[in-house]
Every structure is written in C-alpha cells, then in structure tokens.
Amino acid sequence: MATAAPAYRLFINGEWKESRTRRAVDNRNPAMIQEILGRVPLAVPEEANDAVEAAAEAFPAWRHKPAPQRGAIVARAAQIMTARKEELSRALTREEGKALRESRGEVQRAINVMEFTAGESRRSGGDIIPTELEDNLCYTVRQPLGVVALITPWNFPVAIPCWKIAPALVAGNTVVFKPATLTPMTAAMVVEIFQEAGLPAGCLNLVLGTGGEVGERLVDHPKVKAVSFTGSNEIGSRLYAKGAQRMIRVQCEMGGKNPVVVLEDADLDLAVSATVQGAFGSTGQRCTATSRVVIVEEIADRFLDRLLSQAAKLKSGSGLDESVDVGPSVDETQMNTVLRYIEIGKREGAKLLCGGERLRDGGCENGYFVAPTIFDHVRRDARIAQEEIFGPVLAIQRVRDFEEALDAANDVRFGLSSSLFSNDAARIFRFIDGIETGITHINSGTVGGEAQVPFGGMKATGVGPREQGTTALDFYTEIKAVYVDYTGRKRQSNLY
C-alpha cells in the first residue's frame, strides 16, 4: 500500500515539483490507520533554499503591486475556498481526525480571515503626524519585510496557514510555507487555492519536511527576513533564539493551559456545556482547549455530577460520521503522550472520574482513540495541572473562593485563554483585570475567536505581535517615518 500511495509534491516558483529526497513517511488517517492517504517527502535543505530564492526573486514585483490588488487575490482565494469548503473539510477530517462539523468550522474561520485581511488591503495605511516644523509634512507608511517563512502545526492545518499567509501577502511579502508533516494534503489544497486565485509565481512556496532540517534552514537563510511559528514551546523558544542571533523578526504562538473558572453564582448548566465543548471538542488538540476547571468547593460536586453525565454521552469515532463528537489523536505518538499523562495523573494522586484508557471498540478499533478523561482533586503543582497535554484530559481544581480561584488560574506558565462563569459584575471585572491571558471569555468557554479580533497569549504562550484582526499586519510590516520639507530653506530647528 505504501508504494502505491501518491507522493505529495513541493510547490516552488509556481510549479508543482517532485522532491529530490529519497526519504518519505506515510500520511495516515488517524481514525483508520490502515488507510494511507499519501507519502510525505522529507525534503532536503537545498529544496528549502530553492523556495527562498524563488520568493526573493518574486518579492520586488509583488511589493510594488498596489495593496488593493494584492488584497483582491486574497479575496478570490476566499471565494474559491468557499466553493471547495466541503471538499476541504472532508480532507481535513481524514487527515487530522477532528469531527466533520469542526472541520467545517475551521475552514469557515479560514475564509473569514482571508475576507477580513483582503479588506485590510484598502485600510492599512500610515498616519499624518503633527510636526513642530513650519511648512513640513510628517507621515508614516508601512512597508513589507521581504521573504517570510511560515511554520505551522497539524492541529489547525487550514485556518492557521491562512491567518499567516493572508496578512503576509497583503502586506507585500513573499512566503515560504512549511506545514507539519502530518498534514500535507490540506496544506497542498490551501496552496492550490491561492494558485487558482492568480497569485504570481514565487509569491507562495510550499516545502514539506522536518523542522530539524527544512525548518532550521529557513530560519538560518540570510534572505528570510521574518519567521512566524505556531507549535510547541520547546521548538518556539529555540527558533526565537536563532532569530535573535540574526536580528530578524520572529513571532511564536505556543502552548496553553486554559482554565474555566466557575464561581458559586454561576449558571452550572451553561458552564458544564462550555467545559465539555472546550475540553473534548477537537479531541482537546487545540491551543485554546479547556485543560482545567477551577471551581469553588461548595458547588464542585453538583458541577461534576452534570459534567460526568454529559461526558458519558459523547460519541468517539471517525469524524466523517456526522454523529461523532470526539475524534482520534492525530497519530500514535500523540496518543501515547496523552496516555502517559493519564498515568502521571494517577501516580500524582488525582482521582480519576472517567475515561483514562485507549478505546478499542465501537468504531474506534482501527484508530488512535483515547476516552474523554476527567481527574478530580488535582493539586496546583501536579504535572497534569501545569503541562499542556493536547488531548481529551480535564483537570478539576477545587478552591475556597474567588481570590483563590484567580490565583490558581494564573498559577501556570502559559497565558493564552481563560473563561469565568459568574453573574457578579464586580468579580467579573476583577477577573478581567487580573487574569493573565491574552484572551478571556465571560460566561462562555475558552475556545473560539473571530477574524477581526487579535489572537495571542501572554507569558510563555507567545512572543511577537498578535495574529489576526487589525493587528495582523503589524508583524509583517516595517513603519517608515517621512518628513517632507517644503519651506525651500535651511532648517533652523534643533530637533534631534
């Protein structure tokens, strides 16, 4: 089967090309591991060089194309993706594993981002700034950086590439895109869509391969002026350090350990529904997933009764089945990581309330499925309370009151998303002021976001400007200040 499976190709300078490498790995459906979707070439570093050179050659013409024309191509890509939404959603589910309705939601998020970013091509300008000088005009303009490398993860293989590619292109940069080796099929489809939209050759290039070879070569290449990365803290911190050595821009969006805080006046049914969706939707494989519930002791047992009841109703299986709620882990390595953390939780003394095992029947016998898992009485310093698991595992932390809840919610190194369930206005605003996350929700879950709203986190979660929203172009542009003196005489001012 492996030899018969099609090999994915690289896309360099407007052409689909077979990789020169002799090394390749299988791209398997994680819900049905005997299904091999294709062979993923592990490109050699020289092919990354080729992609960078093609992007560098395309950059002068692309940067001089008026921004609204660049935006029009991104808008056409959004229209094409809309027409191919179901096809792309099904490919995403087969390749990554998430339930089909979640795949459709992800593709729609990508479409929304491209539509919004295309509009920014007509709005993104500079400022006219008052100057102390007579008969002088002072203003700012935004200019592109050059070649940017975009390194993306497997868990949102359509949305994350699009929310990096679209602003990079609208700003006038050219792109080398390196997706995760686990999701090459959807990456290729995204590139096909931009190609069909009329993007000139060399403006978007696709290279498949490992982070240790292709990714490192992109970060080290002297013609790469910026790197945007989404993935683990371990890799992100190393890329950030390497970029600093070259004094280039690096943007990293990394881990999360997101809490739902439930106070005694909360609507428990609302809090439970949001927790189930946040913890077990997308199999917990998203950076905004609900990893912890920080709950006031006096309502904890009532909350857990309802939570366990809802969790028991979840159906695991292939995401192509419209009735399925929870798909598989993306591959065997990730499944084993989740199972290892479950064993760690047991050894640490947390009380296992449900789940905790690999599923091997009921439609799950041929995939990497882990049962939705809930631990109670989890200590603050426990590893399952502190470390990102990236699976369907939820830790319950009991506290005395609001002050202890806020302190516990902040007692992790990450700071991406959070939520609070309460109807007390004073405590709601104290929570908003005090929570150390880049995103917070009141009376809704930790997941979710919109194309026009900045996305990113605090502390160890992220470095660099926020992605999406009106801030998306900040990372991909330089600001130039311009003084136009129309006095026709020597300046007398002592301005610095």
Question: Which residues belong to the active site?
Answer: 253, 287
41 contacts 20 by C-beta, under 8 angstroms: no
What is the helix (H) or strand (E) element at residue 62, kind and residue range? helix 45-64
Instruction: Name residue, tokens 């030899």.
Output: 3
Angle 159-170/100-120 helices, nearest 10 degrees? 10
Q: Say what the alpha-carbon torsion angle 238, 239, 245, 250 is, to the nearest 10 degrees.
A: -140
Q: From CA 405, how far away is CA 450, in angstroms rounded?
A: 28
466 contacts 157 by C-beta, under 8 angstroms: no
Angle 184-196/159-170 helices, nearest 10 degrees? 30
Q: From CA 377, how far away is CA 342, in angstroms rounded?
A: 14
DSSP secondary structure of 198-255 = TPPTTSEEE--S-IIIIIHHHHH-TTEEEEEEES-HHHHHHHHHHHHHHT-EEEEE--
> Which amino acid is present at 251?
Q
Instruction: Name residue, tokens 């002072």.
Output: 138
Please calculate the CA angle 356-360-364 and round it to the nearest 5 degrees.
105
The CB-based long-range contact list for 424-431 (8 Å cut-off, 24+ gap) reads 424/263, 424/265, 427/263, 427/402, 430/402, 430/406, 431/261, 431/402, 431/406
Helix (H/G/I), strand (E/B), else coil: 390: coil
